[in-house]
Structure 1
């Protein structure tokens, strides 16, 4: 078990073509592994963008897309985190989906269903997406890794809970739409949530798109943020691979010096 870990964020643009998107995951995984990364995170909606009819594209976790991701992780010997859509419950004759993260790789397998749905800025994700209910942490390369998705970043309690559950790294895939102030909000929130969890945060974003283009929604700005809220690395809006080393000592020191996770509210 190493106290240092090399991680990567694959900033890409997904399409309605699931096979093409799997090829993007393949290339990102190969590149990340070649640079020594042990985890590569791809964005929310890597399987397909939100502009598509998600209930017709959704697949179970033992379906072709998820199995394709597993095969990629096995070929390159790396843990891969990918945003996909899985079937949910039927409501009023139409099946909702779950906005799911699949984490798979050597000795690790988990999935997380997005808890906080994007009912904001005139959008109602809850009309088509069924919320998850559970926080998820999984051991990867001896590290405790928590999972969260996009709009979850606006909810500090989720990240504090992940920190209290022992997360040392939180992987945050996102499809963060552009708009007035959205870049500043993303930068602020990723720093704040890393500090709330006192953990490293890896934000993997859909690349930036011109507003005239119909999806996917992305602003780029994939990042790695430290447990005291400091930005270790960030890229701009173009498709790219962000590779960064993180260390467990930073988590230990943050939690020893500022023991907020051990503090409970008293009245």
Structure 2
């Protein structure tokens, strides 16, 4: 469903970060369509009946999709960190071309790594411990050193990176909600646009902008996935009304409420990523 939604929906494809979600959907599809049927056959028969070559190919695919899923969750956390810290520069930094290259590089490196382990471990070490007539395992799983190195690379390092990124996101949002950190670059652009509207209202001879710059800031925010309350879109009109002496009413939502909602969204995202990572680790 995730793959179909990405293909059929233009708004979903327009979001650059959804490339990572598509990547997770692809890995889940491969596991369900190709990995589990072979694994169920193995469990039902009680022994491996497909030979050495198919065993190694199946193990390469199994290990690859598992590690790619873990690395994708790390990249999702990294993307949220960039979204939070880069502000207006995020849209120009995180492009589809850049993320597509990162995802392709990740798949290539992981697949080559496990291909090397599957076909070159035994010739290099001289260890042939797996009986492929009955069992299907990686040869390095019989080596304590090899098992430790692989587990550190595919679990402990990604888990530590994921933990650090989510803690950084949590701490940054918490500081913003308490007012310790200054406003984001987008907020500064909005404030500058409103002040320009005031200056243009005080000087009728100058050409008026009618809040175009402020609206452009909001459009950039929407494209980057940062949503404000609809009442904030009326900020340019409110400033213009104040300049003409008209009452504006209670249109603009309080900044504290906006920060609290933003903090809640990032906190929920961090919890979801932690749960997904725990599921992948248990599998």
**Shorter-chain TM band:** under 0.3
Normalising by the residue count of structure 2, what TM-score does the alignment of the two structures yield?
Answer: 0.24
Max radius of gyration: which structure? 2
Query: Hey, which of these two has a bigger chunk of helix by percent?
Result: 2
Give the TM-score normalised by the residue count of structure 1: 0.25
